[in-house]
A = this chain, B = another copy of it.
């Protein structure tokens, strides 16, 4: 089940980081699930960084993970009143520098590389993969 007694402040703490907001907002706006390499290629942040942020969001109860072989698909936990309202808040956040719009656009293009609706490739931006460049 979801609730492992997550304190309210832990939920907001999970969103108190620009990268984590980008992750949640991306998944909220597209209503999609994504594996880590897709997030890396969309947000253009290092693999280890997003891995940790995704973990933080999972521990806060915002994300659920589904393992499929080597890939792990992350999606928003939905159906919980206060979480659903948080997503709504995120979706109407101002996007002054167009960062969120770019994330969504990059993500949509990355989704085109799926085969049969599943990710079959890894990180397409080599300098963001483990080990750096």
Contacts and interface: CB of A to CB of B under 8 A. Distances in A.
Contacts of A13: 12-13, 16
Interface in A93-115: 93-94, 96
Given A9-B17, A16-B16, A21-B12, A82 B93 contact: yes
Nearest to A18: B9
B86 A89 contact: yes
Interface string A4-19: 0101110011011110
Contact of A7 (B7, B18, B85): B18
A10 to B, nearest CB: 8
A81 interface: yes
